[in-house]
Chains A and B, each alone.
Chain A
Amino acid sequence: AQDPFTKDEL
């Protein structure tokens, strides 16, 4: 599961 602070940003 994605950690709550997803690092999907650049």
Chain B
Amino acid sequence: MNLFRLLGDMTHLLSIVVLLLKIRTVKSCAGISLKTQELYVIVFLTRYLDLFTKYYSVYNTAMKLVFLGTSIGIVWYMRYHKVVKQTYSKDEDTFKHYFLILLSIILALLIHRAFDVIEVLWTFSLYLEAVAILPQLVLLQKSRNIDTLTGDYVFLLGAYRALYILNWVYRFLMENHKFRWIPWISGLVQTALYADFFYYYIKSWKNREKLKLPA
């Protein structure tokens, strides 16, 4: 475990804490894409299939359970909680996210390291995670005003994978010197998708003004 990966995991955890904070304290999920949250549940379910078959460390197992539990909990809140579900921006969360799942499945069947169920599903989870933020970014562009916690949530979510890229550089140089094209390219695409959000987020933070994405 290197510092970049630890920072990455903590940033990812923090993003989830911020989202839960928003949903639980404000009792609102306005501006949050349910579709992105559902995609993340699929990402975690298909990536952590080895949860009960392979043991790496207490940390690894604990974090997998936290990510699975919180992502499922958030979807439950947005779908079934009597107060929160009323605040879901249903009419604006219109991205056709089933296409993202289909494309990721097809790509995972075509490009993978080994053709076995676990490996193909793990590869699928990497491809899906790379594009899972798209419904959320589209929703942000439609939102007139983006509340601070939502902006912070998306920023932290984008930052975690950027830190993972540093972790991969470190591991390549210092550890196994092996090329891991699939996670690397997926991670680069994922981070690149946040590029313009990062630009507007940092600009709004520097100018102390409300975050606004161009339509």
A9: which B residues are within 8 A, CB to CB? 5, 164, 167, 183
Cβ contact within 8 Å between B180 and A8: no
Q: List 10 A-B contacts (CB under 8 A).
A: A5-B180, A6-B56, A7-B54, A8-B60, A9-B164, A9-B167, A9-B183, A10-B12, A10-B64, A10-B67
Smallest Cβ-Cβ distance to B182: which chain A residue: A5
Closest 7 CB pairs of A and B: A8-B56, A10-B63, A4-B178, A5-B180, A10-B9, A7-B50, A8-B60
Number of A-B contacts (CB under 8 A): 22
**Contacts from B to A (Cβ < 8 Å):** 5, 9, 12, 50, 54, 56-57, 60, 63-64, 67, 113, 122, 164, 167, 176, 178, 180, 183
Known: A4-B178, A5-B113, A7-B50. 8 other contacts (CB 8 A): A5-B180, A6-B56, A8-B56, A9-B164, A9-B167, A10-B9, A10-B12, A10-B60
